[in-house]
């Protein structure tokens, strides 16, 4: 079995109401990455990605730009222990 990593990201800027979560879901699905994404009450977007390191890295990189309507000001990334995520959910 290949290595699995987990990353939590918090994206700030104009990231709500611009299809960011759905865009992330598409990027994750295309790369076989599991996890979830949600809009936080403070206006940020939070997401967890779990999968092969290169695939997770690609989805994290996508978060640094986001969809065309978004404006990303900052992306905080933290490493976590894999939790056995399955599929990708928008919360």
Does a structural domain hold residue 52? yes
Count of domains observed in the chain = 1
Within a domain: residue 89?
no
For residue 88, is it within any domain? no
Q: What pTM value is reported for the model?
A: 0.94
Residue 91 lies in a domain: no
Catalytic member of 8, 14, 31, 39: 39
pLDDT of residue 1: 52
Of 21, 40, 71, 91, the active-site residue reads 21
90 belongs to a structural domain: no
Q: Whole domain around residue 11: which residue ranges?
A: 5-82
pLDDT digits (tens, 9 = 90+) for 23-76: 999 999 999 999 999 999 999 999 999 999 999 999 999 999 999 999 999 999
Is 71 a member of any domain? yes
Confirm whether 76 is domain-assigned. yes
CA distances from 15 to 27, 76, 80 (A): 16, 14, 23
Active site annotation includes 21: yes
The question of whether 14 is a catalytic residue gets the answer: no
């Amino acid at each position: 079995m290949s290595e699995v990593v987990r990353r939590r990201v918090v994206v700030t800027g104009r990231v709500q109401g611009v299809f960011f979560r759905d865009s992330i879901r598409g990027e994750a699905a295309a790369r076989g990455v599991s996890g979830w994404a949600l809009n936080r009450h403070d206006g940020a977007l939070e997401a967890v990605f779990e999968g092969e390191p290169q695939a997770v890295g690609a989805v994290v990189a996508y978060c640094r730009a986001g969809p065309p309507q978004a404006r990303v000001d900052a992306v905080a990334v933290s490493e976590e222990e894999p939790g056995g995520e399955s599929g990708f959910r928008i919360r």
